[in-house]
Amino acid sequence: MTTTIDTLTARAAVHAGSGQEMTLHQVEVAVPGPGQVRVRLRASGVCGSDRHVLDGDWTLPSPTIMGHEGAGVVESVGPGVTELQAGDHVVLTWFYPCLSCSACREGRSWVCTGSRSEECLLPDGTTPLSMDGQAVYPYLAVGSMAEYAVVPVQAAVRIPADVPFDVAALIGCSVATGVGAVVNDAEVKPGRSAVVIGSGGVGLCIVMGLRLAGAEPIIAVDVNDASLELAQGFGATHAINSSGRTTEDVAREIRELTDGGADYAFEAIGRVETIQQMPPFLTRGGTAVVVGLPPQDRPVALDLLAFAENGQRLLGSNYGSTVPARDFPLLARLYRSGRLPIDQLITRRRPLDEVNEAFEDMRAGARGRTVVLHE
């Protein structure tokens, strides 16, 4: 890393827009402008949303610096920034709110209509990154698989300095998404039964959220025994391996465990086939919650007549209805108190040089979460 008067150059994992692999490059990182902060990143989660981009399921502007679960230390602040200062430890949010649209004014920043994060742009429509004179786009306006990021101040949330960076990074997406789906979206009450389809990173966070909410029983469904064992360690009371089994067969077992069907079913994979499984797993009046994100242009077939006749609900969970400024510090406190064992989600840590191997781990069905650490 070298420093100039106006910019930093930093290593970053860049995706050219085709193929599954990234390459490491030196990119130029601008000084923070008005209302912006520059963050020295220390950790980045390896998330399925990034894999969707790498595998061609979703299209984005390119070249793209991947990563959207990031945590680090504020290095400098732009004009007008008073909320943060150099040295603060922060978690980055991948969906920064504009703070001025009607949704933001109502406190529903997760459905902000003015954010440009999904365009991989800052609020002024620019990107702070470049390479050989060409614009480079930080994924979801974060780009955490780089040594530095420049984000609007509302995208950086201060947390206590004793929260490890790898734990903090996961708070920024998978933990907020999973726990928020339970607490904010579904509003699960104590004693209600729940099924979680998929025991990957987000699925495990849903299990943690259900345990926090007092759900009973909590049934994990997956095709991998090792992942199911991990889910039980986080609070699942029952585990069902669905490999080679029909939906009705699994539904029958769920009905036996829940006295007629679950009150809630959460899909945490993002596959059309598993989203379609949720209604048969539910009791009358139950709620299906779509948390996993499927590929673009893949419609899901549901029997809406049966949905209506059974009085069931279908919820789409976007970021767990997270308000970062409110929820990130709360999740950090729950971790510090021992009520959210986020550190136990992390089963592997890799340096930035091994970022492609980290995604191969995911494609191969690795348990838990991998975190890329920036030295």
Find out whether 157 and 292 touch, Cβ atoms under 8 Å.
no
Task: State the Cα–Cα distance between residues 275 and 138, nearest whole angstrom.
Answer: 30
Is there a single domain that holds both residue 6 and residue 153?
A: yes
Q: Residue 63: its pLDDT value, please?
A: 95
Digits of tens for pLDDT over the chain (375 positions)?
Answer: 443 336 789 999 999 988 889 999 999 999 999 999 999 999 999 998 899 899 888 888 999 999 999 999 999 999 999 999 999 999 999 999 999 999 999 999 999 999 999 999 999 999 999 999 999 999 999 999 999 999 999 999 999 999 999 999 999 999 999 999 999 999 999 999 999 999 999 999 999 999 999 999 999 999 999 999 999 999 999 999 999 999 999 999 999 999 999 999 999 999 999 999 999 999 999 999 999 988 877 888 888 888 899 999 999 999 999 999 999 999 999 999 999 999 999 999 999 999 999 999 988 888 899 999 997
Q: Is residue 171 part of a domain?
A: no
Is there a single domain that holds both residue 120 and residue 14?
A: yes
Q: Residue 70: its pLDDT value, please?
A: 98
Q: Say how many residues make up the chain.
A: 375
Mention every residue, 6+ apart, whose C-beta is less than 8 A from residue 66. Answer: 13, 14, 15, 22, 50, 53, 54, 139, 143, 145, 355
Is there a single domain that holds both residue 20 and residue 64?
A: yes
Q: Residue 256: its pLDDT value, please?
A: 97
Q: Is residue 332 part of a domain?
A: no
Q: Residue 87: its pLDDT value, please?
A: 97
Is there a single domain that holds both residue 132 and residue 237?
A: no
Tokens coding 231: 């889910």
Find out whether 147 and 33 touch, Cβ atoms under 8 Å.
no
Q: Is residue 300 part of a domain?
A: yes
Q: Residue 6: its pLDDT value, please?
A: 66
Report phi then psi at 14, rounded to 5: -110, 130
Is there a single domain that holds both residue 80 and residue 226?
A: no
Find where tokens 């009791």 sit.
283
The CA–CA distances, whole Å, from 85 to 37, 195, 294, 328 equal 9, 43, 38, 18
Range of the domain at 113: 2-158+341-373
| Number of compact structural domains in the chain | 2
Q: Residue 126: its pLDDT value, please?
A: 96
Q: Is residue 354 part of a domain?
A: yes
CATH number at residue 104: 3.90.180.10
Q: Is residue 106 part of a domain?
A: yes
Residues β-bridged to residue 52: none
